Structure 1
Amino acid sequence: MQRITRQLSLWLMVVLAAVTLQAQAAQPKDLPDFTELVKQAAPGVVNISTTREVQRRSMGPWSGQGQQEIPEIFRHFFGDQIPFGPPGGQGGGSEERHSLGSGFIISQDGYILTNAHVVDGADEIVVRLNDRRELKAELVGADKKTDVALLKVDANDLPTLNIGNSDRLEVGEWVAAIGSPFGFDHSVTAGIVSAIDRTLPTDAYVPFIQTDVAINPGNSGGPLFNLDGEVVGINSQIFTRSGGFMGLSFAIPISVAMDIADQLRESGHVSRGWLGVVIQPVSRDLAESFGLEDGPRGALIADVAEDAPASKAGLQAGDIIVAVDGQAVDESTTLPRLIGKVAPGEKVELELLRNGEQLTKTVTVGDWPEEQQASAGGAQGDDPQSRLGIAVSALNDDQLERLGIENGVRIVDIDPSGAAAAAGFKPGDVIVSLDQKAIESPQQLADVVGQVASDRVVPVRLVRDGRSLFVALRLGGNDKE
């Protein structure tokens, strides 16, 4: 009997041990606790509200359509602009538009980072601090290409956030956002880094951080934190088909943003390198046709702008750029980022593949044409082409002959927030006519654009990939309506 009792006791002990081990294995790992992070960081996060006065537009066929009906996938999300004034919007007069966003303090003497689209065209910018103080802010400068803006308020001893190193981010690590979605100040959401070094269709200069952190209208411009409470990004865009959060949000790496902020603080505008080439990805079929035995890589030059740095250095259409100063260009999207970081006037060595042979060309990098005219806040003054949001280059006789056209100018860059981008223009497109007027030079394009009344829709004939098409273009006024 004693033997049976001992056997039962041993059996029960084995069973209990197995159950305990199974229970321990089933327990999830400890989830991160963000309470201390929020306590430390919240005072440095601000709410930003803007006001601008615009001319009231006449009612068109799409007036009254809800934002959810607009077929736009990538959205900036600074919040719905709310018009104030008589209903209907017909006739003359003006109305006020308000928008909401977020930002964060980077210096005790009042410098604040946010998104450029949050403050675009604002007549008044008001910053509300964590302690409920409201301060008017001055726009030091904005860079639309990276969607970064720098503000300044008249205050001292402000709470600042710790700036981290976004280059050290890894996919899968936890991150958190603090902002003002739909005006609810200092809301906290968390998630993980879904991907790094993402390229979005209209943003060639930003290697975005993709996360699944819940982001909504009003979060734009707010900080993205790592678990150490350091800012690693600025929340900027979402991918959506509904207008709201769908699990895909994108942040500007803080390393990119701080470089832009330093330039804005020093000069009020940003200088970035420019080659003057139209590039395209190298597909597998193109790689085979160009004799790339190790598969697709590099950036294929589709065209070279006349008198641009690339043409002066002897680059040609059909060249494939595979490295910049020893840094590999694995994807075509890598090239604009590498060149954009080079100061105008500096030289770079480009490794090329031409007719199956590897060459090295030294190029003196130029300054972006539109950047040369930029002033504080990124404004272009009264330059008519700023209404389009593009940079164009002339075409020589050989280029026109290859395209099978008699006249036109090629688009070499597009402002993602400009009228041309909204109409669907792309880099590499050739503008043949605008408002039924033939375009033969960049100056003529500027002259024709300058004659188009504000908010009028005009037809534009383009040549894209060897085919002609017409696009309807709505031109705003020089006041960035």
Structure 2
Amino acid sequence: MTNTFTNRVGRRATLACAVLAGTLALAQPLVGHSVAAGPDPVLVEGGRQQLERSFDVLCRPFASSVLRVVAEAEVGDARLSHAVVVGEEGLLLAKLSELGSDGFYVLAPDGTRREATILASDLGTDLALLSTDDAGLEPVAFSAEPVDWRVGQWIAAVGPGGDCIGLGAVSVGPRDLATENNGFLGVELDRTVPDRALIGRVLDDGAAISAGIQAGDVVLAIDGQPMRNSESVISQLRRTVPGQEVDFTIRRGEESFDRVVRVRGRRLDDYQNPFQVPHAADSVDVSARRDGFPSVVQNDANLLPSECLSLAIDSRGRVVGLHVARMDRPGSLTLPTDVVAQRLERLLERAERSVQAKSLPVGAGETRDV
């Protein structure tokens, strides 16, 4: 198992450098203009129907690169997510928050059921790295170079079988949602103290008080990282997401101790300024996790939650990211390709460490599981 997985990880530089050569060969420009200059000429010259037909052609090369993740449940709509093939030997990316806890499998392009296991996860981007049988699968690679996003450019969502399942125009360029709904500790820091992270007040029903943190405590470290002042704490918490367990080192008087805090999302009564309250979902079918991402592009492709994670391509057929969430307003959110490449690298490293940790040497030719 370790050797096999090490071989997979050895290919990660290839996975995160460019779109597959075969895809590039098939994905010729629709028109003789750069997609970064002005409105997409396809729509101007040929109208919506021509645009849809053109994207249908561009999606087909990915017929063996997007799978459907299905719940073990036998009743109702059991579709959970899509999964995109990102490496040889059956490595997939799926939407972590949609996988649930009741078990799942994947449907291959030929319709066969295949078992899949979670190798690693990334809470910040809501991505899960899965492993399944690789027969008949074609991996997609993600460029580490940022896309030149432009408001108004068209992008498509590629689903299983290379179907174009959504089409939309970019409405907002890359933005950081991690600061809009990051993990919420439930404390007020005393910023008048410049040389330490002093907690001035603790909310009655917040995550901090549940973990035994009190007003007057000083935060020494978060997840092993020293905290110099209040700004250090704020910066570190912006990297967390609701539900994440965070290790705090606290000093109270002369005593120092550790606490594990499960940070939560903000509730409506946590917002002192009513203009900070996020848009509430009405009757739209939205993704359970649709915020807190480190960088996303907003577009008006109306996907179902179960159609995330789907592959995002532009009007030249280039992979530009992953559609990661259906919003609570018309449209979806897309993780840019450079963010996907970066997080995929982390996931591969975490998975490799996990495999190595489960096989510890105890003697010549022996191993033991822990």
Greater RCO structure (CA 8 Å; 6+ sep) = 2
TM-score, normalising length: structure 2? 0.47
- Higher-Rg structure is 1
